[in-house]
A and B are shown apart, each in its own frame.
Chain A
Amino acid sequence: MATRILFFGALKEPAQGAARLVDLPTDVTNAEQLIDWIAKDDTALKSALDERSVRICVDQEITPRAQSFETPAEIAFLPPFSGG
């Protein structure tokens, strides 16, 4: 099943886009592993996603980086908010 990866705010720049559709390898089961996989050979993206202030949303729930997920439909990377 394909997973949609979304990048919000300033993360669109290192990600070079707002969204990607990927087939997650079976050994990617949490956000830390996902970052290592999608940012393989891309140090700028890895550095941006590794920032502690970036939150991870799995199927629209904020999820700790080390927490396992199973066949998520959507994973979003959220930089600090600036609304209001």
Chain B
Amino acid sequence: MNKSIATIEISDEPFDPQAVHATFCAAHKDAGAIASFLGQVRNEKNSVKKLVLEHYPGFTEKEIQKIAADACRRWPLDGLCIVHRVGDLNPGEPIVFVATASAHRRAAFEAVDFLMDYLKSDAPFWKKEAGESSERWIEPREQDLCDKMRWRTKTAV
């Protein structure tokens, strides 16, 4: 993968997904299609739970680069952008933003879907829910594994 087409950032500070999106669009004015996804901390009623996200500095970035390179092999992308938080997050805060640019919409849509499925299952992050009096490390969901399996034969190279 030509590294200049992938912007990957792990941020321990809050980020503005609208600003990231605007920057990405400005960098890809020639692309016919730009697709994106924003993951936020779910805001459950009567819940003051915050999320704590951990990563393995150096290794996490390398693994995300591999996922991005895989997306670039499967689809003709002009660019992609991944921003992922670590640290303490409150309900409603952005956790992860993904955007892709391509000549046509099918590649842009599918690459965002693929990147999110792989970020959920193959990116080295660990999430902990912290309430007032208890903490719980989150286990991967069976659904996330099923979601990843969809890409096994579809567009695999």
**Which size bracket describes the interface of A in this complex?**
10 to 19
B39 touches A9 (CB 8 A): no
The answer to the question of A34 belonging to the interface, with a C-beta cut-off of 8 Å to chain B, is no
Q: How many A-B residue pairs have CB under 8 A?
A: 61
Give the contact stretch, choosing among B26-34, B106-114, B134-142: B134-142
Instruction: Tell me how far the C-beta of B85 lies from the nearest C-beta in chain A, rounded to whole angstroms.
Output: 10
The answer to the question of A84 belonging to the interface, with a C-beta cut-off of 8 Å to chain B, is yes
Question: Which of B39, B56, B62 neighbours the largest number of chain A CB atoms within 10 Å of its CB?
Answer: B56
Q: A57-B59, A76-B56, A81-B140 are in contact. Are A8 and B120 (CB under 8 A)?
A: no
Give 6 A-B pairs besides A78-B56, A83-B127, A84-B123 with Cβ atoms closer than 8 angstroms: A60-B62, A83-B126, A84-B96, A84-B116, A84-B119, A84-B125
Can you pick out 13 interface pairs between chain A and chain B where the beta carbons lie within 8 Å of each other?
Answer: A6-B56, A8-B126, A10-B126, A10-B137, A76-B59, A81-B121, A81-B124, A82-B125, A82-B137, A84-B84, A84-B96, A84-B116, A84-B123
Task: Please list the residues of chain B having a beta carbon within 8 angstroms of any beta carbon in chain A.
Answer: 39, 53-56, 58-59, 62, 84, 95-96, 116, 119-128, 137-140, 144
